[in-house]
A and B are shown apart, each in its own frame.
Chain A
Amino acid sequence: MASIAIEQPGRARVGEATHAAKRAGLVVVGVAVFWGLWEAYRWIGETLGITWPFRVDATNMPHIHDMLAAFNKPLQPGGPTLLHYEWHWALFTAKEALLGFVLGALIGFGLAVLLAHSRILRRGLLPYIVISQTVPILAVAPMVVVGLGTKGVTPWISVAVIATFLTFFPVAMNTLRGLLSPDPRSLELMRSYAADRRSVLWKLRVPASLPFVFSALKLSATACVIGAIIGETPASIQDGLGGAIVNFNQYYSTGPERLWATNIVCAVLGLVFFTAIVVAERLVLHRAPEHVA
């Protein structure tokens, strides 16, 4: 009986290793296919003179190897390479996004705990939380930066607040669902032990909510990076990726590959955040395979 029910740990580890190798292989293949499609479209487009939906030429679709080569070229004659700058911009934006992520996750979690304990609060507060997310972030961002600026808050922290705004919502909604997910029997069991609210929260509701929390954190991990980049643009903050995007947009016709290179850095930054959450989830969650989101 025992031998049937139990997975062989050794075999599982070997399976995991080949699984990881397969996934890494798929990523490489995916990048190669994308590269191939991009260059093929560029080549066909230029030969046939495609102009719809946009004109295919070196300005609109720079070669991917040109984008990568741009990293190694100095931004100003005799100055450091673009990669050097991108690294510092990325760190700056990552700092904003990380603070926004942490604040958003904490606020979202706290809000969910509050809402989980009161039906009246759920009815009363939820519509406003939803409405908050329909406000265009581009319109609010300058107000937040200027408004907080007059209170003496440094601009990067204001941008983090904007990232928070995009982060807290998915966390709050999913955590709330997770906190309310335990079945009646699990709650009855706690009642039979005369467990108080706090114990029910920390020993049942919160652990039960973790798979939900992690799927929300994955959404938020990319949203906070977007939030930070968008927050920088209208506030004219020059130290991050958002500022760089605005700059390179203005000089697009003379050096399109720099904007594309910056886009790649943004994507990589989002991926780094996302991957960090996936790794954290692996370390924290030990659920039945079908329960892992």
Chain B
Amino acid sequence: MNDRPAVAISGLTKQFKAGVTALSGIDLEVQPREFISLIGPSGCGKSTLLRIIGDLIEPSAGTVEVNGKPAHRARLDHDYGIVFQEAVLYDWRTVSKNIALPLELLRWSREKRSARVKELLDLVELEGFEDHHPWQLSGGMQQRVAIARALSFDPALLLMDEPFGALDEMTRERLNLELLRIWDASGSTIVFVTHSIPEAVFLSTRVVVMSARPGRVAGLVEVDLPQPRTARTREEPRFFELVTEVRERLAAGGAELEVTA
């Protein structure tokens, strides 16, 4: 990996057709190996920002570079994998075949695919479930399949849009730990959208706090909690200090909204 930023956003603005400004004047750099969380009230455009990084939506103005190339080029080069709030697994495919979907599109040989799928099943701890269909799995297991699928072609960047938002608190905390382990093992950069403050603090190396209408970066919080994070991390005083800091930044963003509105 070179030292080009994994994601470089400058002067980014997004206006929707109805004249709604979703994002305004976003500047952000994400370094390789970082775990960045985007947090903000609903309607702050955090999911929109993630989709623009992934070239699933076009920005109205500004530039987005991924691995030193325009976002569009990066998408065509398969530079990132994406995980949505819903697992978005294809019902007619088994767990193995869902994970192998991007590899089929990349025209990997059958042998290479099955070897890679085996590694990934091991990584997300789903051995023994390869021949199950998505509807036979719990929500947490489905989301692990989605993560394995996103990692299958070993992209440098992982985009995650509230991936654990629909799960219960216990499953979410367990998957948080698993995600950190996967992040460590895969060596990828992660941009993670969430509306949970503790989740953002627990996972991230840096939290990007956003304000709403129009979406703006209201502040950056460096998370200096030691690595690797464990279940105990959530009980440390520094964890609570950082949670408070993020919460205050969010409130400050909201206050700013009231002044401008």
Contacts and interface: CB of A to CB of B under 8 A. Distances in A.
Interface of A: 1-2, 4-7, 183, 185-186, 188-189, 191-195, 199, 203-204, 207-208, 210, 285-288, 291
B78 A193 contact: yes
A189 B91 contact: no
A210 B91 CA distance: 12
A194 to B, nearest CB: 5
B94 to A, nearest CB: 8
Contact of A6 (B92, B101, B132): B132
Contacts of B91: 287-288, 291
Nearest to A285: B92
B92 A191 contact: no
A207 B90 contact: yes
Contacts of A285: 92
Nearest to B137: A5
A43 to B, nearest CB: 52
A188 B92 contact: no
A192 B88 contact: no
Contact of B92 (A1, A2, A193, A207): A207
B56 A191 contact: yes
Contacts of B88: 183, 185-186, 189
Given A189-B84, A288-B135, 8 more contacts: A2-B129, A5-B138, A185-B88, A186-B88, A188-B56, A203-B90, A207-B90, A288-B91
B133 A288 contact: yes
Nearest to A196: B105
18 contacts: A4-B138, A5-B137, A185-B84, A185-B86, A186-B88, A188-B56, A192-B75, A193-B106, A203-B90, A203-B101, A207-B92, A286-B92, A286-B133, A287-B92, A287-B133, A287-B135, A288-B133, A291-B91
Contacts of A208: 90, 92
A191 B86 CA distance: 16
Chain B interface residue number, banded: 20 to 34
Contacts of B76: 194
B39 to A, nearest CB: 22
Interface string B118-135: 000000000011001101
B104 interface: yes
Contacts, number: 66
B162 to A, nearest CB: 12
A193 B76 CA distance: 7
A203 B93 CA distance: 10
A13 to B, nearest CB: 16
B197 to A, nearest CB: 26
A174 B81 CA distance: 33
Given A6-B132, A291-B91, A193 B102 contact: yes
A183 B84 CA distance: 13
B141 A210 contact: no
A192 B92 contact: no
B10 interface: no
A199 B101 CA distance: 11
B138 A194 contact: no
Interface string B58-83: 00000000000000000110101110
Closest 5 CB pairs between A and B? Answer: A288-B135, A185-B88, A207-B92, A192-B82, A194-B76
Contacts of A199: 105
